[in-house]
Amino acid sequence: MNDISVQPISGALGAEISGVDLSRDLSNEQFNAVHQAFLDHQVIFFRDQKISHDQHKAFARRFGTLNIHPYVKGMDGHPEIMQIVKEPADKVNFGGGWHTDMSFLEEPALGSLLYAKEVPSVGGDTLWANQYLAYDTLSSGMKEMLGRLKAIHTAKGEYSERGHSAQKRGSMDVAVAGDDVPSYEHPVVRTHPETGRKALYVNMAFTEKFAGMTRRESLPLLKFLFEHCTQEGFTCRFRWTAGTLAFWDNRCTQHFALNDYQGKRRHMERVTVNGDKPF
Ligand code: SIN
């Protein structure tokens, strides 16, 4: 018997799922319903979950192998779990800018599963933006041109000495990306390997330039795309409660962790599922 219900949270993307206890093994029927909701809504939320680290990883493993982040140190005994913490004294948060997780890898992340351990009484919401909509709403001329372009992605800016994520080195163990940090070329428009839909695949944090062009030449069009792909009509905003797990699809979304809770503590744990090479 499958009592799963799926409640969209905005007109653009996102849905809350009820009737699932993630501390238990999901039946194939439950798994299929959750998987379909993930593909249909791009980010799904499960409130009031009580899960151990092993249960968090076990649920994530139903979708693929788990990533060990190259810059953010995982938990002792659970290297696949990143603790994303903002202490009351911290000014900068992790993930506080529009991005797609791990697009700086040759095979970027399929999805991320973020579990809320402690959240401020107000603030600390996360936004997601639907990158299918970002693509679908472009003109046919722009679609055609972008369809021929590739872009260079790198962790150089974000994880370098002065990058945004690097500023989290206060309360998170974040390594410095050296000069030898690799770059990878990904299509600007990628085809989702499961749905077959096209999505825009550039993000402010990790996309440096178009392949075969300089950064200066690339920036005017990149800036247009960064603004276009995160406009409010493509987004949802989620108000966290402790015990909620969010699971988003990095192949067709971007997200932004709001930093509007100075002086308060927020503690999340993230497991990231490996993906394949974008095409
Ligand atoms: C992240 O970018 O993975 C963190 C998102 C959040 O803390 O809301």
Query: How remote is the CA of residue 97 from the centroid of ligand 1, in Å?
Result: 9
**Structure confidence by residue, pLDDT tens digits, 47-89:** 999 999 999 999 999 999 999 999 999 999 999 999 999 999 9
The Cα 143–Cα 18 span in angstroms is 37
Atom of ligand 1 nearest to the CA of 94: 4
3-state secondary structure of 237: strand
pLDDT of residue 55: 98
Hunting for tokens 């050296």 — which residue is that? 178
Query: How remote is the CA of residue 115 from the centroid of ligand 1, in Å?
Result: 10
Q: Which residues contact 145 (CB under 8 A, 6 or more apart)?
A: none
Better pLDDT: 180 or 121: 121
pLDDT band at 171 (very low <50, low <70, confident <90, very high): confident
Looking at ligand 1, which residue's alpha carbon is closest to its atom 2? Answer: 95
Better pLDDT: 4 or 176: 4
pLDDT of residue 163: 73
The Cα 184–Cα 70 span in angstroms is 15
Query: Which residue ranges make up each domain of the chain?
Result: 5-273
pLDDT of residue 158: 87
pTM, two decimal places: 0.96
Average pLDDT over residues 117-144: 98
81 token code pair:
């779990």
For residue 257 and ligand 1, the question of a CB distance below 6 A is answered with yes
- Closest by CA to 192, choosing from 131, 257, 268, 234, is 131
pLDDT of residue 175: 85
For residue 126 and ligand 1, the question of a CB distance below 6 A is answered with yes
3-state secondary structure of 29: helix
> Is domain 5-273 classified as CATH 2.60.40.350?
no
**Structure confidence by residue, pLDDT tens digits, 87-112:** 999 999 999 999 999 999 999 999 99
pLDDT band at 160 (very low <50, low <70, confident <90, very high): confident
Q: Given ligand 1 and candidates 268, 269, 271, which is best to mutate, with the most ligand atoms within 8 Å of its CB?
A: 268
Query: How remote is the CA of residue 139 from the centroid of ligand 1, in Å?
Result: 31
Would you please indicate which residues are annotated as catalytic (active-site) residues? 99, 101, 255, 270
Q: What beta strand segments (E) does 3-51 contain?
A: 5-8, 15-18, 43-46
- Min mean pLDDT across 96-105, 174-183, 221-230 is at 174-183
Average pLDDT over residues 2-10: 93
Query: How remote is the CA of residue 142 from the centroid of ligand 1, in Å?
Result: 31
Phi then psi dihedrals of residue 221, to 5 deg: -75, -40
